[in-house]
Amino acid sequence: MFETLAEAALMIMRFDVLAMIAAGMCLGIFVGALPGFTTVMAMAVVLPISFFLEPILGIPFLIGVYKGGIFGGSIPAILVNIPGTGAAVATTLDGPAMTRNGQSRKALEIALVASAIGDFLSSFGTILVIGLIAAIALMIGPPEIAAILILSLLIIVVSSSGSFLKGMVMLFIGMSIAMVGQDPIGAMVRFDFGFHALQAGVNLLPLIIGLFAIPEILFAIERRQGSIVTAERTRPEGERLRWGEFRRSLRTILRSTALGGVIGMIPGVGQVVSAFMGYSAAKNASKTPERFGKGELEGVAAPEAANNAVNGPTMVPLLTLGIPGDNITAILLGAFVAQGLRPGPQLFQDQGVLVYAILLSMLVACVLLVIIGYLLTPVFSRVVTINKAYLVPLMLLFAVAGTYVYRSNPMDLYFMIAFGVFGYAARKMGFDVTPLVMGFILLPPLEYAVGQSVLLSRGDLFGYLIGSRPITVAVVILTPVLIFWIASRQGRRTRAAKRAVRDQRAKEEEAAGRTD
């Protein structure tokens, strides 16, 4: 393993690789600091760029966008009480209060430091354990893979926003779309309805761009907003972060990192839940919990460390089992597949050096985040003043060009438009498109694993599972228990998060009333 890591380190320490990570980081922070434009949208739009680069350049570029976007969302959350990403919602509980107290510079710096530490430590832990997990994954067969994939899909449905029924509907739609074209076992064409263009199936790229980028563009047009705030409100003010203040917050940062690292390995949970859990844990452990919500430094450090600590561990199910845990890792899966790298335990045997080089790029990205964030946060803080009318046409141009250039197939543009309109309508009606994307991605390996299991059973599937596949039986039995437990905890966390945000808004309105 050490020889593999040494070769990977040499591969990643190239100027062009560092430049691509830095470019992705700047783009990610820029988009993250734009309220209304999400990191997922940015990655979907620039995904085709990675296809025309070698894997060691293209995938780290997307990782830079990913990590930069998660931190970038904290900038408007702190300065103007508008989270740039969903992951930064918990940061609005104390960040804006620090800004009102004239401590916005300190709040931005603790957010940067906490983000980098949480991300670095969780990514480092990921590198240490992922090889062992991949080795274990090599010992499991098709029945176990099928059971794990079904469990992952159910977890994603339960963890998605909206009702369970809506999540199941979207999952069914995604799996139905994935069935168009050739089946993975016999290569028989199905559900093409006589259209030659459907015989090869639906491509992942137009689906991702259509569902993630186009609705965001349509929503931006619908809002008809120019700049959200004036430049005067976005200037970092006050003292810089002191060493003593950082040391006092370090225990909170480490606690949130541990929480985020564990949550990151569970498909479908994500940064928002992790951020609120980190904030709640910090408040409960504090000797002065009454200061939270009024501009407490640890109230910014806790959610920022927690939501960034999710980034590294999400690569564990993606790379070892080929299971994306959220929308962002689904996009990364598209990048891997387009480069001819199918995530799974076999990938570590075939392309071990490249995989570890990509993992090491996450550590490099954390170091670059500190440098770029420290130097350019005052610049990125002005991003919220940019008129959206200039950005929307540019985003649309990238979406259309990226979709077409990859295969030069006009049908991909039609698919992109269709999925874009569908995604826009679905979000309008309160449907989360995440289960659709996961169903589309995971159905082919699920179908293949089920088909192999049936062949191995030689006509007696039940007896085969009971007699020789105890792990599969255990996963099947534990699935409803685990789903019920996750659903109940998710409900409690959601209610607690809504209550915390509602209480904070009430305090702000009360304070504004006193000022008037």
Altogether, the residues listed in the chain come to a count of: 516
Strand partners, 181: 190
H helices of 290-326, in order, are 297-309, 315-321
List the Cα angle 41/46/50 in 5-degree steps: 140
CA distance 166 to 385: 36
Structure tokens at 100: 């009102």
| CA distance to 63, 123, 353, 355, 356, per residue, from 10 (Å) | 19, 18, 10, 13, 11
**pLDDT score recorded for residue 379:** 82
Contact 311, 123 (CB under 8 A): yes
Gap between the terminal Cα atoms of the chain:
65
CA distance 421 to 170: 15
Q: Which of 275, 383, 391, 460 is nearest to 42 (CA)?
A: 391
Contact 435, 174 (CB under 8 A): yes
| CA distance to 244, 260, 283, 427, 492, per residue, from 495 (Å) | 35, 20, 17, 21, 5
CA distance 111 to 88: 10
**pLDDT score recorded for residue 451:** 81
- Structure-token match 């002065």, residue found: 288
- Structure-token match 């040391």, residue found: 247
**pLDDT score recorded for residue 499:** 65
**pLDDT score recorded for residue 228:** 46
Element (H, E) at 437: helix 434-457
| CA distance to 25, 33, 302, 329, per residue, from 72 (Å) | 9, 5, 16, 18
Contact 376, 27 (CB under 8 A): no
Neighbours of 185 (CB within 10 A): 13
CA distance 433 to 169: 10
Structure tokens at 214: 């186009």
Neighbours of 408 (CB within 10 A): 7
Crossing angle for the helix pair 104-138 and 243-264, to the nearest 10 degrees: 30
Cβ neighbours of residue 171 closer than 8 Å, sequence gap 6 or more: 153, 156, 157, 435, 436, 438, 439
Structure tokens at 286: 């504090």
Element (H, E) at 335: helix 327-338
Contact 74, 306 (CB under 8 A): no
CA distance 445 to 317: 14
DSSP string, 145-180: HHHHHHHHHHHHHHHSSS-HHHHHHHHHHHHHHHTS
pLDDT values of the chain reduced to their tens digit, one per residue, 516 residues: 677 888 888 888 889 899 999 999 999 888 888 766 777 878 888 888 888 888 899 899 999 998 888 888 888 888 877 776 667 778 888 888 888 888 888 888 999 999 999 999 999 998 888 888 877 777 777 787 788 788 777 777 776 666 778 888 888 998 888 888 777 777 677 777 777 777 777 887 788 888 877 887 888 777 665 544 444 555 667 778 888 888 888 999 999 999 888 887 776 566 777 888 888 888 888 888 888 878 888 888 888 998 888 888 888 888 887 777 677 888 888 888 888 888 877 888 888 888 899 999 999 999 999 999 888 888 887 776 666 666 777 778 877 887 777 677 788 888 889 999 999 998 888 888 878 888 888 888 888 888 878 887 777 777 767 767 777 777 777 777 777 766 676 666 556 655 665 666 666 566 556 555
Neighbours of 191 (CB within 10 A): 14
**pLDDT score recorded for residue 508:** 57
H helices of 224-269, in order, are 243-264
Share in percent of the chain as helix, strand, coil (round to 5)? 80, 0, 20
**pLDDT score recorded for residue 371:** 92
